[in-house]
Amino acid sequence: MGEVNSNISAAKAFGYLRVIDYDKCMACGTCEAVCSFLHSGTAYIKLFEVSKGFSRPISCFHCRKAPCIHACPTGAMRRDDDGAVHVEESKCIGCLACLAACPFGIPSLSSVTKTAVKCDLCKDLREHGLEPACYVMCPSEAILYGKAENVVELLQKRSLAKVIGLRYELGT
């Protein structure tokens, strides 16, 4: 129980969190389609074929210790009040130091603005009290979003249910 409490305590300091539960994801592409629709044809969450016939979405993880923020020489890559990492376009020089630093290769260069672009967890929607579109539209509830401690707790419950289900199925 101490580990659970320490995970939740750490999460409280982080604000909001978006996580993709790959065990629940059915790779339907809804997240990519809605993101593309909201961002004029550019999706910041994309399905990638991991192996033949097996795809999963990937997007910015909004890392707690985001290397893209530390690598940005102008301070354009920053965290908002909810914990989402975003690009302040007016400060970005398009050097892509953020891309080089990102272990997932997420930031890219806009062909229009020549600045870094990436998921900002639907900053415009959140400013109006709404939630990220990928989370709202996900039909399998694989994309989780909310206060970090609530997301962590839900993931822990899902993991426990999976373990208990496996034990029951195996009769152990």
**Domain-located, residue 90:** yes
**Domain-located, residue 25:** no
**Domain-located, residue 131:** no
**Domain-located, residue 21:** no
For residue 154, name the pLDDT band (cuts at 50, 70, 90). Answer: very high
Helix, strand, coil percent content, the chain, rounded in steps of 5:
40, 20, 45
Give the tens place of pLDDT for each residue, 99-135.
999 999 999 999 999 999 999 999 999 999 999 999 9
Beta bridge mates, 16: 147
**Domain-located, residue 52:** no
User: How far out from the chain centre does Cα 6 lie?
Assistant: 22
pLDDT at 14: 61
Q: How much is the pTM?
A: 0.83
**Domain-located, residue 86:** yes
Please report, as a single letter, which amino acid is at residue 37.
Answer: F
CA angle 151, 37, 141 (to 5 degrees): 25
Are 57 and 50 within 8 A, CB to CB? Answer: no
Range(s) of the domain holding residue 75? 62-117
Query: For the chain, what is the domain count?
Result: 1
Judged on CB neighbours under 10 Å (0-12, 13-18, 19+), 85 is buried
What's the CATH code of the domain at 71?
3.30.70.20
For residue 35, name the pLDDT band (cuts at 50, 70, 90). Answer: very high
